[in-house]
């Protein structure tokens, strides 16, 4: 749905304030967006982003519930909800979000990686290794990211995890075999 130009400009302004790290100021600009029915999905998305930036996770979760009722990017909502739930010490809830995302989008490398992180936090190392391995196989960047990811600390002693990391032995050996 195309937004009226004045509302579209306001949405860009709010997004700009978020990108500058001024979430409180972004929220202060939201009134006209909130009042515009055609801008509701955009307004809710921007509000959720601002609330997350401000670490107001319970309010962000309330906004995400409302966002699910309107047109939205379901994968983004699930990822953002999981992120909030983890920070509220609801790791089982974060796991459920990622499982829901992967049921809908099984080729989401980010979904597999995040699920692996949350499973590692929950102590389910076998499933965590499987999910992180899938993510690393789908997107090479996750191998580098896993090096410093503290959520995966519970996997560090496992040689299978070490093999996923850059230089960890997952590459081809000298004679061309694997």
- Which two structure tokens, joined as six digits, stand for 28? 């202060």
Share of the chain above pLDDT 70, in %: 94
What is the distance between the alpha carbons of residues 23 and 54, in angstroms, rounded to a whole number?
7
CATH second-level architecture of 74-167?
Alpha Horseshoe (1.25)
Structure tokens at 29: 């600009």
Sign (positive or negative) of CA dihedral 41, 6, 19, 2: positive
CA distances to 27, 78, 86, 97, 155 from 102, in Å: 31, 10, 17, 9, 22
pLDDT at 77: 96
Phi, psi for 15 (deg, rounded to 5): -60, -40
C-alpha to C-alpha distances, 134 to 107, 108, 138, 147, nearest whole angstrom:
9, 10, 6, 16
User: Structural domain boundaries of the chain?
Assistant: 1-72, 74-167
**4 confidence band (pLDDT: 50, 70, 90):** confident
Asked if residue 37 has pLDDT above 90, the reply is: no
The pLDDT of residue 1: 56
In this model, does residue 176 exceed pLDDT 80? Answer: no
Reply yes or no on whether the pLDDT at 174 is more than 80. no
Please classify residue 175 by burial: count the beta carbons closer than 10 Å to its beta carbon, then call 0-12 exposed, 13-18 middle and 19+ buried: exposed
Specify the higher pLDDT residue, 170 or 54. Answer: 54
Q: Is the pLDDT of residue 163 over 70?
A: yes
Residue 129 has pLDDT above 80, yes or no: yes
pLDDT band for position 170 (cuts 50, 70, 90): very low
Q: pTM for this structure?
A: 0.86
């Amino acid at each position: 749905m195309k937004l009226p130009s004045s509302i579209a400009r306001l949405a860009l302004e709010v997004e700009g304030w978020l990108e500058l790290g001024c979430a409180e100021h972004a929220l202060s600009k939201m009134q006209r967006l909130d009042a515009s029915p055609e801008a509701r999905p955009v307004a809710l998305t921007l509000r959720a982003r601002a609330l997350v930036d401000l670490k107001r996770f319970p309010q962000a979760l309330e906004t995400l519930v409302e966002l699910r009722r309107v047109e939205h990017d379901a994968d983004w909502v699930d990822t953002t909800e999981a992120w909030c739930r983890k920070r509220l010490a609801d790791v089982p809830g974060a796991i459920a979000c990622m499982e829901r995302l992967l049921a809908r989008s099984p080729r989401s490398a980010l979904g597999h990686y995040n699920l692996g992180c949350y499973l590692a936090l929950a102590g389910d190392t076998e499933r965590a290794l499987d999910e992180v391995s899938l993510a690393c196989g789908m997107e090479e960047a996750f191998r580098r990211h896993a090096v410093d990811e503290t959520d995966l600390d519970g996997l560090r002693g496992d040689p299978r995890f070490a093999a996923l990391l850059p230089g960890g032995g997952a590459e081809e050996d000298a004679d061309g075999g694997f």
